């Protein structure tokens, strides 16, 4: 677990901290308050919030006062916020449906801020592939280092699984099964959610969110993209029962046009590995099976990642491993000829990796910020570290960028396309730029 | 008993470093020593009593309290530990990432438990920041519990920062809150280290009991006695190797306890976690007492003898119950022995902390724990006799040393937590005048402790270790490295504060 040794890594740089401008930070509610804010507090010598944007100026001012952001200036003009010189990194933490209309002018206005280096955007960063391609292009032309919050890549369980496969503990991958739960798309839904969230095209749905995060993690763990895929998308629950905050039925229904089930299968480019995936919309949750499972079968061992909640990117998981390591198997017989060991030979190791006190909601986002700081200040003293990179791909170091996000976006688009035309699609050209899909 | 306060004048070196680092004077210094376990290894988490002492190496924290701030700035005299700076959230508790190996995590553990105590006593930590300069002489990864010394010094400093210089901090409170602090990092230790660091007393060994309550009783040692604590320089970070070493042993002991309980029809209900090896044997003995009247322990001379009887009974039970599988249990065999499915077994025993194994050595681990607990009691009996009767000191020390040597054999063969270097150093020490030599702390490297009856034997053992171990194995070792590797110590006092008086 080399990646986790940090005592000698300095988090107090000789330079000034990265100045952060926030869109979507609110003093009383929201994801950014719960996750981004604590992460920045823990890295207070590397990040400082210098600007807060809100359409409502009073709201921005209140947020700054309540959270005691003593270095921050409030903005209600996107233009002034984007061109504010005292910002090195802009964080956009708003719903996917609002990202595009914010990001396109923001990128344009930000040309007047010569200090701006980073743009951190929440997944899914746009409502559809066309918008996502445009956001990607605009940010590439603007020359920013982008970060996309596919924070599951920073989960210690995902990294441990990646490490086990990378160090050849399960041999070649034979097959993979995945099942998970998208939470909000079952028979009932809490009334506090806006109806718009359940309309097709909002950028938030079972395929985009749950499938997107999960498949990004699978590709990251295995170190491979897909070559062929096939998807069947269902909407068997066009009307959901509304429930109140304590889960009691309110006797009313509301329409839903987003999917409530996905059947997906495909094969990984590397090793032509069959992957089978089923995503359940939401409630009721499964009675006899965990709600999140990635089950990886190899020639010499298995890895299984399980969770109670459906979202791998923000829940505490358990990783199981059992298998034989290469160096546990004798490689030469008595006569000097190599021995081909049977699959059952060698010492079988069992590993259960679970961190009882790991807070994944905070922890994964914290680790994402930590990797941004590691890159910016080159805290690990990597020689000839470039000033920018296009994508993380399957590296341990670094962080996911808009390009990594775009690849997942293209996969999601292919899933819908496959469902629409009822065919298996070749997606091996998914990495091409510009996209030809 | 409360944590004593001394004059800050004694801490000139660290206060000077503090001034150089932060450009202002420190308000106070908090100190907590390392500890060495004389005997009773790997039994604290089974709740059996142990016999440690605080030693002459320590963690010092020089602190300036910043009112109206929420920032913690940490600097360390050792460049291996890079500076840290973080803010305490206004609304939530501080985040600790148990998957990272980071020195500031230990600080955060101490901070967190102290915050909780302050909250409980009606004075929450609000708008108080700290600038902290840390300077330690406890070798890290040497089994002398640098982590506990750091956590205890941090908790003490935090309470002092929040409550002010007049507040009296009791040793009991400090021990109680720090005992579990490392659990936030996924290290499942028993509380001995913190207890010894906080409660240490000059010239006394500490008899530390965990049940019915965490308690340290000091016992005087003969004044001529010296302990040599010598580092193998094989670094063992308890945190980083926990899945195959430390935590795995904890898990093996728990499973062994469950198999013993299950086989003999004992129910270990009433605890949050599955029962431990102490609980099994106490429950069984209680039951035997009930069915056989008062016959079993009627002739016991005193409480120690009664306990000794229980442990001898336990050792027989281990032979009888687990002896047939002395080569170890696979996961499937262990779950079968408990009449559980592998899934139930995994959930119950393997998900508390990350573990990695080939076989579970239930027989060997249980045999070590019961025999080691027995040796602690035998030492205790020697110590209670030495002053009450006219037993001569030499005989006492020889007997004591023998028990230490048997402990080493058991750590090596039953618990498998020794290593080649440890074995080598122990024999060098024994050949040159040590009466008892064994590993101390978790093992897998780290330090050995040797019992030397007088100054002459100290000099001889020290010389021999330098000539035959350090110079042989590390030809380039410098004299300052040697000074740090070999500690000659008598028992010292525990945690303390240094203030402007």
Q: Is residue A418 part of a domain?
A: yes
Task: Test B83 with A11 for CB contact under 8 angstroms.
Answer: yes
Closest approach of A396 to chain B, Cα-based (Å):
15
Closest approach of A344 to chain B, Cα-based (Å):
14
**Do both A137 and A161 map to the same domain?**
no
pLDDT beyond 90 at B439: yes
Q: Is residue A190 part of a domain?
A: yes
CB A281 within 8 Å of CB A260: yes
The residues on A that touch B, with CB distances below 8 Å, are: 1, 4-12, 37-38, 41-45, 67-68, 156, 318, 320-321, 347-359, 362-363, 366-367
Residue pointed to by tokens 């007492």 = B289
Task: Test A6 with B95 for CB contact under 8 angstroms.
Answer: no
Mean pLDDT score, A379-395: 92
Q: If you count residue pairs, one on A and one on B, with CB atoms under 8 Å apart, how many are there? A: 115
C-alpha to C-alpha distance for B381 and A313, rounded to whole angstroms: 56
Give me the pLDDT at residue B300, please: 39
**Do both A122 and A159 map to the same domain?**
no
C-alpha to C-alpha distance for B110 and A179, rounded to whole angstroms: 40
**Do both A262 and A115 map to the same domain?**
no
Best residue in A1, A3, A6, A7 to probe B by mutation, most B CBs within 10 Å?
Answer: A7
Task: Test B85 with A348 for CB contact under 8 angstroms.
Answer: no
Confidence of residue B390 (pLDDT cuts 50, 70, 90): low
Higher pLDDT, B327 or A325: B327
pLDDT beyond 80 at B219: yes
**CATH no. for residue A36?**
3.40.50.720
Task: Test A12 with B85 for CB contact under 8 angstroms.
Answer: yes
Residue pointed to by tokens 């050849």 = A168
CB A12 within 8 Å of CB B81: no
Q: Mean pLDDT for chain A?
A: 91
What number is the ipTM of this complex? 0.86
Confidence of residue A436 (pLDDT cuts 50, 70, 90): very low
Confidence of residue B222 (pLDDT cuts 50, 70, 90): confident
In degrees rounded to 5, what are phi and psi of residue B6? Answer: -125, 175
CA angle A295, A300, A303 (to 5 degrees): 25
Task: Test B87 with A41 for CB contact under 8 angstroms.
Answer: yes
Number of structural domains found in chain A: 2
Q: Which of A99, A119, A151 is the last residue of a domain?
A: A151
Please list, in sequence order, all residues whose beta carbon lies within 8 angstroms of the beta carbon of residue A138, skipping any fewer than 6 positions away: A103, A104, A107, A108
Q: Which of B61, B85, B56, B89 is nearest to B73 (CA)?
A: B85
C-alpha to C-alpha distances, A306 to B43, B117, B148, B347, nearest whole angstrom: 33, 35, 34, 12
A338 bridge partner residues = A332
Q: Is B133 on the interface with A (CB under 8 A)?
A: no
**Do both A138 and A170 map to the same domain?**
no
**Do both A264 and A321 map to the same domain?**
yes
Show residues of chain A in contact with B357, CB under 8 Å. Answer: 349-351
C-alpha to C-alpha distance for A76 and A64, rounded to whole angstroms: 13
pLDDT tens track for A35-92: 999 999 999 999 999 999 999 999 999 999 999 999 999 999 999 999 999 999 999 9
- Least confident range of A146-155, A275-284, A302-311, B332-341: A302-311
Parallel/antiparallel/unpaired status of strands B5-7 and B28-39: unpaired
Token representation of residue B456: 């002459």
C-alpha to C-alpha distance for B8 and B81, rounded to whole angstroms: 25
pLDDT tens track for A181-230: 999 999 999 988 888 889 998 888 999 999 999 999 999 999 999 999 99
pLDDT beyond 70 at A241: yes
Q: Which of A136, A151, A166 is the last residue of a domain?
A: A151
Task: Test A6 with B102 for CB contact under 8 angstroms.
Answer: yes
Please list, in sequence order, all residues whose beta carbon lies within 8 angstroms of the beta carbon of residue A37, skipping any fewer than 6 positions away: A25, A67, B89
**Do both A204 and A263 map to the same domain?**
yes
Please list, in sequence order, all residues whose beta carbon lies within 8 angstroms of the beta carbon of residue B335, skipping any fewer than 6 positions away: B341, B342, B344, B345
C-alpha to C-alpha distances, B428 to B205, B231, B472, B490, nearest whole angstrom: 25, 13, 12, 21
CB A255 within 8 Å of CB A198: yes
Residues of B marked as catalytic: 193
Show residues of chain A in contact with B243, CB under 8 Å. Answer: 351, 353
Task: Test A351 with B243 for CB contact under 8 angstroms.
Answer: yes
C-alpha to C-alpha distance for B358 and A350, rounded to whole angstroms: 6
**Do both A169 and A227 map to the same domain?**
yes
Closest approach of B390 to chain A, Cα-based (Å):
53
> What count of other Cβ atoms lies within 10 Å of the Cβ of residue B236?
20
Please list, in sequence order, all residues whose beta carbon lies within 8 angstroms of the beta carbon of residue B443, skipping any fewer than 6 positions away: B41, B42, B143, B236, B245, B411, B415, B417, B418, B419, B422
Q: Closest residue of B to A67, CA-based?
A: B90
Q: Is residue A432 part of a domain?
A: no
What is the helix (H) or strand (E) element at residue A99, kind and residue range? helix A96-109
Is the link from the previous residue into A405 a cis peptide, with omega within 30 of 0?
A: no
Q: Is residue A437 part of a domain?
A: no
**CATH no. for residue A413?**
3.30.360.10
Q: Is residue A182 part of a domain?
A: yes
* B85 → closest Cβ in A45, A67, A349: A45
> What count of other Cβ atoms lies within 10 Å of the Cβ of residue B248?
21
Helix, coil or strand: residue B216? strand
Q: Is residue A171 part of a domain?
A: yes
Best residue in A11, A14, A42, A305 to probe B by mutation, most B CBs within 10 Å?
Answer: A42
**Do both A18 and A167 map to the same domain?**
no
pLDDT tens track for B248-279: 999 999 999 999 999 998 877 655 566 889 99
Show residues of chain A in contact with B358, CB under 8 Å. Answer: 347-350
Confidence of residue A353 (pLDDT cuts 50, 70, 90): very high
Show residues of chain A in contact with B355, CB under 8 Å. Answer: 351-352
B501 burial type by CB count under 10 A (0-12 exposed, 13-18 middle, 19+ buried): exposed
Higher pLDDT, B36 or A327: B36
Instruction: Tell me which residue range forms the domain holding A299.
Output: 155-355+402-426
* A7 → closest Cβ in B81, B98, B357: B81
Distance of CA A1 to the CA centre of its chain: 21
Give the domains, in start order, of chain B with CATH numbers: 5-220+491-499 (3.30.230.10), 246-416 (1.20.1440.340)
Helix, coil or strand: residue A263? strand
Give me the pLDDT at residue B238, please: 66
**Do both A115 and A256 map to the same domain?**
no
A23 φψ region: left (φ > 0), alpha (ψ -120 to 50), beta (else): beta
């Amino acid at each position: 677990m080399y990646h986790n040794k940090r005592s000698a890594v300095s988090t107090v740089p000789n330079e000034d901290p990265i100045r952060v401008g926030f869109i979507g930070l609110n003093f009383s509610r929201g994801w950014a308050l719960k996750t981004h804010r604590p992460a920045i507090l823990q890295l207070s010598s590397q990040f400082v919030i210098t600007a807060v944007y809100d359409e409502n100026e009073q709201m921005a001012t209140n947020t700054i006062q309540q959270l005691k952001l003593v270095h921050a200036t409030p903005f209600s003009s996107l233009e002034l916020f984007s061109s504010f010189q005292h910002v090195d990194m802009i964080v956009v933490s708003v719903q996917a449906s609002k990202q595009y209309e914010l990001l396109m002018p923001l990128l344009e206005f930000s040309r007047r801020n010569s200090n701006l280096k980073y743009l951190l955007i929440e997944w899914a960063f746009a409502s559809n592939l066309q918008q996502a391609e445009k956001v990607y292009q605009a940010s590439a032309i603007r020359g920013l280092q982008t970060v996309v919050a596919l924070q599951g890549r920073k989960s210690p369980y995902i990294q441990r699984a990646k490490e086990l496969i990378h160090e050849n503990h399960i041999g070649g991958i034979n097959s993979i099964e995945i099942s998970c739960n998208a939470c909000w798309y079952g028979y009932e839904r809490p009334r506090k959610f806006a109806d718009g969230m359940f309309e097709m095209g909002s950028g938030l749905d079972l395929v985009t969110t749950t499938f997107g995060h999960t498949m990004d993690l699978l590709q990251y763990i295995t170190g491979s993209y897909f070559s062929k895929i096939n998807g069947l998308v269902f909407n068997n629950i066009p009307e959901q029962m509304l429930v109140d905050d304590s889960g009691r039925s309110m006797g009313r229904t509301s329409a839903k046009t987003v999917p409530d089930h996905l059947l997906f299968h495909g094969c990984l480019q590397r090793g032509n590995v069959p992957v089978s995936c089923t995503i359940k919309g939401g409630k009721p949750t499964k009675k006899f099976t965990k709600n999140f499972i990635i089950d990886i079968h190899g020639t010499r061992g298995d890895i299984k990642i399980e969770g109670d909640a459906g979202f791998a990117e923000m829940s505490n998981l358990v990783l199981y491993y059992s298998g034989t390591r290469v160096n546990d198997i004798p490689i030469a017989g008595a006569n000097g000829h190599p021995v081909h060991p049977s699959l059952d030979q060698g010492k079988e190791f069992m590993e259960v990796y679970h961190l009882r006190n790991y807070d994944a909601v905070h922890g994964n986002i914290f680790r994402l910020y930590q990797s941004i700081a590691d890159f910016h200040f080159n805290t690990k003293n990597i020689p000839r570290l470039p000033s920018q990179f296009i994508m993380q791909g399957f590296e341990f170091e670094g962080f996911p960028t808009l390009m990594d996000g775009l690849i997942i976006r293209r996969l999601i688009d292919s899933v819908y396309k496959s469902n629409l035309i009822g065919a298996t699609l070749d997606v091996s050209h998914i990495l091409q730029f510009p996209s030809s899909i | 008993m409360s944590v004593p306060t001394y004059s800050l004048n004694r801490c000139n070196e660290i206060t000077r470093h503090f001034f150089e680092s932060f450009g202002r004077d420190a308000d106070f210094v908090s100190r907590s020593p390392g500890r060495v376990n004389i005997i009773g290894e790997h039994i604290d988490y089974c709740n059996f009593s142990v016999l440690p002492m605080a030693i002459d190496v320590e963690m010092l924290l020089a602190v300036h309290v910043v009112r109206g701030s929420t920032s913690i700035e940490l600097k360390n005299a050792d460049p291996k530990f890079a500076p840290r700076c973080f803010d305490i959230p206004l609304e939530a508790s501080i985040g600790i990432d148990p998957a990272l190996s980071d020195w500031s995590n230990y600080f955060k553990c101490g901070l967190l438990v102290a915050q909780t105590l302050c909250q409980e006593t009606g004075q929450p930590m609000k708008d108080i920041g700290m600038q902290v300069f840390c300077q330690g002489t406890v070798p890290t990864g040497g089994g002398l519990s640098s982590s506990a010394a750091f956590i205890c010094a941090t908790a003490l400093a935090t309470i002092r920062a929040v409550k002010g210089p007049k507040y009296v901090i009791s040793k009991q409170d400090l021990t109680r809150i720090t005992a579990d602090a490392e659990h936030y990092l996924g290290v499942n230790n028993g509380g001995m280290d913190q207890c010894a660091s906080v409660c240490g007393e000059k010239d006394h060994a500490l008899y530390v009991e965990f049940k019915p309550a965490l308690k340290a009783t000091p016992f005087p040692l003969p004044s001529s006695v010296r302990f040599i604590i010598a580092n193998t320089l094989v670094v063992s970070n308890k945190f980083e190797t926990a899945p195959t070493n430390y935590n795995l042993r904890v898990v093996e002991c728990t499973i062994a306890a469950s198999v013993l309980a299950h086989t003999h029809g004992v129910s270990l209900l009433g605890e949050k976690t599955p029962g431990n090896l102490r609980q099994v044997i106490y429950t069984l003995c209680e039951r035997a007492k009930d069915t056989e009247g008062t016959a079993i322990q009627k002739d016991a001379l005193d409480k120690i003898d009664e306990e000794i009887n229980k442990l001898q009974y336990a050792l027989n039970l281990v032979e009888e119950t687990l002896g047939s599988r002395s080569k170890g249990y696979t996961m499937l065999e262990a779950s079968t022995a408990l009449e559980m499915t592998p899934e139930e077994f995994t959930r119950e025993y393997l998900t508390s902390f990350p573990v990695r194994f080939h076989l579970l050595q239930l027989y060997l681990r249980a045999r070590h724990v019961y025999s080691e607990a027995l040796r602690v009691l035998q030492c205790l009996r020697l110590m209670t006799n030495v002053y009450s009767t006219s037993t001569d000191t030499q005989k006492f020390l020889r007997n004591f040393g023998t028990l230490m040597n048997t402990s080493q054999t058991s750590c090596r063969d039953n618990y498998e937590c020794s290593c080649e270097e440890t074995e080598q150093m122990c024999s060098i020490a024994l050949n040159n005048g040590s009466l008892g030599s064994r590993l101390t702390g978790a093992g897998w490297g780290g330090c050995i402790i040797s019992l030397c009856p007088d100054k002459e034997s100290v000099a001889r053992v020290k010389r021999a270790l330098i000539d035959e171990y350090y110079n042989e194995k590390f030809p380039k070792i410098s004299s300052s490295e040697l000074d740090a590797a070999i500690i000659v110590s008598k028992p010292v006092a525990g945690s303390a504060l240094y203030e402007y008086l």
